[in-house]
Amino acid sequence: MNVLNAVREALLKKYKGKFGKKPEVLSYAPGRVEVLGNHTDYNEGYVLSAAINFGTYFAVSPRDDNEAHLWAGDIMVESVFDVSDPQPSKDKMRSNYVKGVLAGLNAIKPATCGFDAMFLGDIPLGSGLSSSAALEICAGLAFAKLYGTEVSDFDLALIGQKAEHTYAGVKCGLLDQFSSIHGRKDHLVWSDFRTHEVKPVPFSPEVCFLMCNTNARHALVDGAYNERRQRCEQAAAFFNGVLGREIKALRDVSWDDWRKHHGEMEAIVARRSAHPIGENERVLAGIEMLRDNNLAGFGKLMVESHNSSRNYFENSCPELDTIVDTAAGVPGVYGARLSGGGFGGSAVLMVAAGDVKEVSDRVRGVYALKHGDRCDTRVITCSEGAAICQL
């Protein structure tokens, strides 16, 4: 039995033990790995990502009353609330993602009854692999099925995003939700966050991704993420006033534009804006390199992306830098960078498939010498997106 099947069976067992019945609906949504395109989604830019082979299951059945009984299956903590008025919690933070999604679906079609629900996954919390979006999307799919609510993939992604904004306090873009919904086995997901077009990009079987979880603090609700977004918006407004053409977002600004005018901006705004501007150009270049099977060139772009995060956006940390710098000198590694919002979490390495163990051992060893504990490593494969499961 593989790991995800074990998670599914564990959830069904816990659900029956708690509620004395099988769930009526079971859904699944994967986490995601961001490969190129860091903080570009809310700048209307481009991202290369993938749904991954780790995710979250959500089991639910109707009740005869209007109460929601929601259990976090890993720690067995319950949240009880009225389905017609799901208010944010100050202490049970993961319940907020579910409550926010329910509120979004209620705006389309009010919930017709209460529910008994439980969720369980294997995405390490705070790892930068978007456990929050996986929970939002699997909850959304399950509720839509339970209540007979018609919702498009795009609207479901918007509902998940709004849950992050209003219930969790993180002004994220749509990258995480898009990746979880649109994942495809053995493919990356290319997303255009202006047109909302999504395309699969074949990924070479010669390589895989190695996720290296620093176990360093990864909490975006303390304002660091929102500050970066605010600086990007300030930069877009600046460029709109000096370039002589309409600039709706940093997606409309080239690297040449930035080099010509960055000295006219407040220093911190110039630094922050350099990152997504450069990232957009790296994503477009990366797609062409993958089409040509230029893995070395693509890996170089990943390293450039991390250095931009480190120097311009300042959303890396010493633990992430140790992994990326160590990986650069290990045979079999094509590229490495932080993945996700940053400020902790995980680094992702693109590694020759036959060298995974050697690379993992080397990186974990160096990491332990510098930081006291070995980082966690897992092999990441590009996987299918979210779905309702057969029971």
pLDDT at 218: 52
pLDDT in tens, 263-322: 999 999 999 999 999 999 999 999 999 999 999 999 999 999 999 999 999 999 999 999
CA distance 248 to 322: 36
Which two three-digit tokens encode residue 262? Answer: 């960055």
Ordered DSSP codes for 172-229: --SHHHHHHHH--TTEEEEEETTTTEEEEEE--TTEEEEEEE-------TTTHHHHHH
Is residue 305 within 8 A of residue 281, CB to CB? The reply is no
Which two three-digit tokens encode residue 130? Answer: 């978007």
Quick one: pLDDT band at residue 221, thresholds 50, 70, 90?
very low
Backbone angle region of 244, left / alpha / beta, with phi > 0 → left and psi within -120 to 50 → alpha: left
Burial 150-165 (b: 16+ CB within 10 A, else e): ebebeebbbbbbbbbe
Backbone angle region of 344, left / alpha / beta, with phi > 0 → left and psi within -120 to 50 → alpha: left
Is residue 189 within 8 A of residue 51, CB to CB? The reply is yes
pLDDT in tens, 240-250: 999 999 999 99
Q: Which CATH number fits domain 3-201+384-388: 3.30.1330.200, 3.30.230.10, 3.30.470.20, 3.40.50.300?
A: 3.30.230.10
Burial 178-208 (b: 16+ CB within 10 A, else e): bbbbbbbeebbbbbbbeeeebebbebeeebb
Shortest CA distance to 133 belongs to which of 89, 183, 84, 69? 183
Catalytic residue numbers read: 176
pTM comes to 0.89
What mean pLDDT, rounded, does the chain reach?
A: 94
Domain range annotation of the chain: 3-201+384-388
Count the helices and strands in the chain (H runs, E runs).
11, 12
pLDDT at 44: 96
Which two three-digit tokens encode residue 316? Answer: 């890396």
CA distance 198 to 303: 25
Which two three-digit tokens encode residue 112? Answer: 């017709």
The stretch 91-105 carries a mean pLDDT of 95
Say what the alpha-carbon torsion angle 108, 112, 116, 122 is, to the nearest 10 degrees: -20
pLDDT in tens, 142-187: 999 999 999 999 999 999 999 999 998 887 878 899 999 999 999 9
pLDDT at 341: 81
Look at strands 67-72 and 115-121 and give their pairing: parallel
Is residue 72 within 8 A of residue 97, CB to CB? The reply is no
Is residue 298 within 8 A of residue 284, CB to CB? The reply is no
**Burial (CB count <10 Å: 0-12, 13-18, 19+), residue 254:** middle
Largest CA distance in the chain: 66
pLDDT surpasses 50 at 361? yes
Quick one: pLDDT band at residue 217, thresholds 50, 70, 90?
low
